[in-house]
Amino acid sequence: MQIYDFIEIKHQVIAGIKNPHLNLEGVCTKKDVSFVVLEDGEEIDFDLLDSDEENGFYIKAKLKIDAKYIKVYVLDGSRRLIIFSSKMSVFNRIAYKFEILVTSIYIYLKVFFPTFGEGIKYLWKKHHLLTSFNLWPKYCKKFSKVMKQRYNKAIEDYDEKLY
């Protein structure tokens, strides 16, 4: 697969175990180009969406569960240039799903323990861990709100480092 100066692929993934789909995100500096997605040599339908970036594109294509090869071409005038090619297997999709699951658990635990420690420290300073039962729901809601914010920020930071 060649690298072309007018197109850059930022993120590509084939995900989904029972309902596989292709997600391809990139930037194309040329205006009048079109894309073709081939699944085992046959052209398939796909959704071409605009990305947040300037001149960005986002391709979403539903794939057959038993497909073997996926290729994405960009049509530049009369030339057909390949920008993405991949073998597709159930094992790779399961491995990707497992990787996402392990990563999210790791990030959750990485955020949980410092937040829990800060909560215990706060309860010790304010109440010496002797809180009445009617304050527990208040502190539990506050803890879950802080956990959700920190977890979402950690996931965003991880995605930025990855791509």
- Residue 8: pLDDT band (50, 70, 90) is confident
CATH no. of 7-88: 2.60.40.10
Select from 100, 121, 108 the least CA-distant residue to 147: 108
- Give residue 44's identity as a one-letter amino acid code: I
Question: pLDDT at residue 88 above 80?
Answer: yes
Q: Are strands 47-50 and 42-44 parallel, antiparallel or unpaired?
A: unpaired
109 by Cβ neighbours in 10 Å (0-12 / 13-18 / 19+) ranks as exposed
Question: pLDDT at residue 163 above 80?
Answer: no
Select from 19, 75, 69 the least CA-distant residue to 48: 75
Question: pLDDT at residue 2 above 70?
Answer: no
Domain residue spans of the chain: 7-88, 102-162
Select from 115, 111, 67 the least CA-distant residue to 92: 67
The pLDDT value given to residue 114: 97
The pLDDT value given to residue 162: 67
The pLDDT value given to residue 137: 95
Q: Look up the pTM and report it.
A: 0.74
- Extract long-range pairs of 156-160: CB within 8 Å, 24+ residues apart: 158/103, 158/107
Cα torsion at 123, 124, 130, 131 (round to 10°)?
-10
